[in-house]
Structure 1
Amino acid sequence: MKKILFLALVAGLTLFSSCSVDDNTADFQFEFIPIETVEMPEEFNFGDTHTISVTYKRPSTCHSFSNFQYLQETGNVRTIAVVNFVTSGNDCEALEDDFKTETFSFSVLDDEPYTFRFWQGKDDNGQDMYLIYEVSVNN
């Protein structure tokens, strides 16, 4: 019985190792998508959790929302970018005006104002552009 279990384990490991993620044949990638608009409170209440809505333009039928890249920088500065999961293939269709809205929750844990920088792409010189909001906090 132990030999059968061992052989089954070895066969299973062989199957999994043949599907290695290191073989560089991925049919997808992740891509930052510029943020078009943001809906958020004009001010926060200390200790509360607030919902922030972000709208972006989906470039093709092969793009789908993956998550947000959320960076907590020095002090109360937050940088947010939309990340899309993009599948490869010839059946992708370009989209003209397909806007998607995603939300995230933000917990206010400090009584100092917060600065949010929402990534909007790069300018002609390759510099990152941001939509910037400064939000005060009520105690």
Structure 2
Amino acid sequence: MKKILILLIGFATFSCSVSDDSLVTYQDPMPIETAVLPDAFVLDEIYEINLTYLRPTTCHAFNDIIYKKHNNERTVVIIGTVFQSNGNCTDLGTELEASFNFKATEEGSYIFKFWQGKDDNEEDIYLTIEVPVLE
């Protein structure tokens, strides 16, 4: 009986394939069209930053918001996961929304750079918004 059980488990394990070469996934940034921020931040308050981004094709799905800090500058990029199956992607250009929370912890101002795509020279384009911090 044990031999049959081991044989069945071995057969099930080796007959299933977890890799599907017809489904390819990768990460791809999606352009941010607009960002809604307050005119000013109050120190130590939390704010919801609302973004409108472009979903380029039916194969793109929201994955994450990447948020990088450098001094008082914040670079924000929306990352999508692209699911390609036999090249059946349709162009969409649909606008969707996402948001993240931000807490102003330093005096002065913050400069937000929201990734909007690339220009003709393949240089990154950013929507840049500066927001002062009030005490």
Equivalent residue for 2:114?
118
Match among 44, 47, 52 for residue 50 of structure 1:
47
Equivalent residue for 2:67?
70
Provide structure 2 residue ranges, at least 5 long, that are not aligned to the other structure: 1-5
What is the correspondence of 1:9-28 to structure 2 with a 5 Å cutoff?
19=18, 27-28=24-25
What's the C-alpha RMSD, in Å, of the aligned pairs? 2.4
Equivalent residue for 1:60?
57
Q: Following TM superposition, by how much is the alpha carbon of 1:26 offset from its aligned partner in structure 2, in angstroms?
A: 6.4
Match among 82, 86, 111 for residue 82 of structure 2:
86
Provide structure 1 residue ranges, at least 5 long, that are not aligned to the other structure: 1-6
Aligned-residue sequence identity (percent) comes to 36
Structure 1 distance, partners of 2:26, 2:61, is 11
The amino acid of 2:49's aligned partner reads I
Structure 1 distance, partners of 2:91, 2:35, is 24
Q: Determine if contact 2:30/2:117 at 8 Å carries over to the other structure.
A: yes
Structure 1 distance, partners of 2:84, 2:57, is 11
Structure 1 distance, partners of 2:91, 2:73, is 35
Structure that is richer in strand per residue: 2
Equivalenced residues, count: 125
The amino acid of 1:121's aligned partner reads G
Q: Following TM superposition, by how much is the alpha carbon of 1:49 offset from its aligned partner in structure 2, in angstroms?
A: 0.5
Using structure 1 for the length normalisation, give the TM-score: 0.79
Equivalent residue for 2:100?
104
Q: Encode CA deviations 1:41-93: one digit per residue, 9 max, x unaligned.
A: 111010001010111111111111101111101x2100001101110113322
Structure 2 distance, partners of 1:19, 1:92, is 23
Structure 1 distance, partners of 2:68, 2:23, is 27
Using structure 2 for the length normalisation, give the TM-score: 0.81
